[in-house]
Structure 1
Amino acid sequence: MLHPIPDDVSDEDGAMMEPLSVAVHSVSKLAKCKSGDNIVIFGAGPVGLLCMAVAKALGAARVVAVDIQQERLNFAKSYAATDVFLPPKKNDGEDTEAYAERISTELLSALDIPTIGPGALNICVDASGAAVCIATGLHLLKPDGTFVQVGMGEPTVPVPMFAILAKQLRVLGSFRYGQGDYQLAISLVSRGLVDLKPLVTHRYKFQDARQAFDVTKAGKDKDGKTVIKVIIDPPQ
């Protein structure tokens, strides 16, 4: 169960192989992302960002990031996303299904993405776990598209079943990682196809570990800087 890392991969990058392997499992193994694919990813947290990085490394033509925080979208655009989208606010009395359809329509229009044919979205990865993101992703996909659920939210959520049936979508669940995922993750970093360093926004000494967890939970530090990934140094 041990996976050695080459000399050209730092120990800090090695500590990031676990979340990167989650992204490799969902984007490469399950979604089978390849050169020329168009993918939309919900959630620009660490796992979502790494899914974007893996998609870019595998040659995706378009990597669309969706999140409700503009700061995270700005980071995603500078890191691996080709396009970003901030969903509109929910209207009073608007149910989840209607809201998801409206987000889908506005995203496709804003980013000039067709619903079918070349340029349409054929892969969606949800790294948020939010019910409205799941529904929106299913609406966004072209016929015969693939949806992969990575984020964990409520145990039961409503889904637009007609969209799944009419477009004959593949809907897959992704749980962590499996055989070969760590090896590919290490290879992507070693070959320079995925850069993990920009994701580490905060570092703490071992004796300050509690502060590191508090900052991670808050999502921002005392200066208002958005937290992406926190590294805690090993005890000296």
Structure 2
Amino acid sequence: MLALNYRGPYRVRASQKPDPVIEHPNDAIVQVLRSCICGSDLHLYHGLVPDTRVGTTFGHEFVGTVVDIGDSVQNLQRGDRVLVPFNVFCGSCYFCQRELYGNCHNTNPQATAVGGIYGYSHTAGGFDGGQAQFVRVPFADVGPTKIPDDLLLEDALMLTDAFPTGYQAAEMGGIREGDTVVVFGAGPVGIFAAKSAWLLGAGRVIVVDHLEYRLDFVRNFAQCETIDFKSVDDMAIHIKKMTDWLGADVCIDCVGCEAAGSALQRLTGVKLKMQAGSATVLHWAINSVRKGGTVSIVGVYGPTFNAVPIGNAVNKGLTLRMNQASVKRHLPRLMEHIRAGHIEPHKVITHRMPLEEVSDAYHLFSSKLDGCIKPVLIPPGVTV
């Protein structure tokens, strides 16, 4: 099959790899119809995620058709079209029973923290991902969800990660009716977090970024205010000026370890890899939220030390909430919002490119070229 092949930082290519096979009776093989490049894939691409091994296939956002199943699979049949949550989860451990699918205890040998994730290095279980023609899907009775006939394929694609992650980011903020919510990052997850904040009752939504095309996009898609952080001297002071000097009720970090804005944080966290990424946005969020407010974090950081102003958080009495999104828990509600016309997730897709051009797609997305918000890869031979 054709699949992304990681050869080292900034080096990915499409090449032939062996087709995946059933390795366990509860496996399924899925022929990929669409896959995305996620902003967190860029952390892999840039060499920032430990134990990202040469030969790995990335891709944790994909939909496809079931072409083979193991002997124990009962909930799927060959020919079913499915969306596959980015979490690889068993469905039966202590955490899965509590719908914390992103913390599954049985799908990652490094299970002290995150559960398994498709195509996200051996720190997340070492599973190959869906930027390929075919992918092996373990625990096929609990992870994949059949795509309803009334759901657009590319809406289903956004339900594998970006939309549920943005929605959980807003949900973890504990938004109350009328709250002011600040979202840091106008990538796809930040865009969905801003839209979700309205769905949860926010009275005011502000999105922070520095790329004008992304700020334009989120203003139109999520009907929010925006801040270009390059035009701001002090983010906390600026947001307090906008909020009667109280601060925002909720601040959401949808950026993670590659945040710009602080030269020191970027040097120590990204260039020199002395920390688990640049903590710029964590500083902004903790310092910009009001006393007694909530900071929600879905931005991806590394597993090691990071210099976070925890004293400020303690003295302000903040609530900090964070996790990988438990995609499957959110699917029924998010499908309701799509059916009701509250949101059209596929409209964040700006580029559709053949899998053969995956190197160009990563360069386009990483370098923020051509107004790219969300790129989708289409494997060869796919006609839908």
Number of residue equivalences: 216
Match of residue 237, structure 2, among 105, 126, 131: 105
Unaligned runs of 5+ in 1: 91-98
What residue in structure 1 maps to residue 378 of structure 2? 233
Structure 1 residue 188: Cα displacement? 2.0
What residue in structure 1 maps to residue 292 of structure 2? 144
Residues 185 and 209 of structure 2 are in contact (CA less than 8 Å); yes or no, is this contact kept in structure 1?
yes
What residue in structure 1 maps to residue 324 of structure 2? 175
What residue in structure 1 maps to residue 39 of structure 2? none
What residue in structure 1 maps to residue 226 of structure 2? 84
Residues 24 and 184 of structure 1 are in contact (CA less than 8 Å); yes or no, is this contact kept in structure 2?
no
Residues 115 and 141 of structure 1 are in contact (CA less than 8 Å); yes or no, is this contact kept in structure 2?
no
- Give the alignment's Cα RMSD to 1 decimal: 2.2
**Are 1:205 and 2:358 an aligned pair?**
no
Residues 236 and 284 of structure 2 are in contact (CA less than 8 Å); yes or no, is this contact kept in structure 1?
yes
Residues 349 and 373 of structure 2 are in contact (CA less than 8 Å); yes or no, is this contact kept in structure 1?
yes
Structure showing the higher strand proportion among its residues: 2
- 1:1-236 correspondence runs (5 A): 1-18=143-160, 19-28=162-171, 30-88=172-230, 102-109=234-241, 112-116=242-246, 120-129=247-256, 130=259, 131-153=279-301, 155-177=304-326, 180-220=329-369, 225-236=370-381
Structure 1 residue 150: Cα displacement? 1.0
Structure 1 residue 70: Cα displacement? 2.0
Residues 57 and 194 of structure 1 are in contact (CA less than 8 Å); yes or no, is this contact kept in structure 2?
no
Scaled by the length of structure 1, the TM-score of the pair is: 0.81
Structure 1 residue 81: Cα displacement? 4.5
The structure whose RCO (Cα within 8 Å, separation 6+) is larger is: 1
What residue in structure 2 maps to residue 93 of structure 1? none
- Report the AA paired with residue 232 of structure 1: L
Change (3 A) 1:108 1:74: farther
* Per-residue CA distance 1:82-129 (angstroms, 9 max, x = gap): 211112469xxxxxxxx7xx22112332xx31233xxx5211110112
C-alpha distance in 1 between matches for 2:362 and 2:230: 31
Structure showing the higher helix proportion among its residues: 1
C-alpha distance in 2 between matches for 1:10 and 1:187: 13
The structure having more radius of gyration, on CA atoms, is 2
Residues 3 and 183 of structure 1 are in contact (CA less than 8 Å); yes or no, is this contact kept in structure 2?
no
- Report the AA paired with residue 121 of structure 1: A
Change (3 A) 1:89 1:59: closer
Q: Secondary structure at the match of 2:291?
A: coil
* Per-residue CA distance 1:39-63 (angstroms, 9 max, x = gap): 1010111111111111122221111
- Report the AA paired with residue 312 of structure 2: A
Structure 1 residue 234: Cα displacement? 4.3
Identity of aligned residues (%): 24
Scaled by the length of structure 2, the TM-score of the pair is: 0.52
C-alpha distance in 1 between matches for 2:252 and 2:378: 32
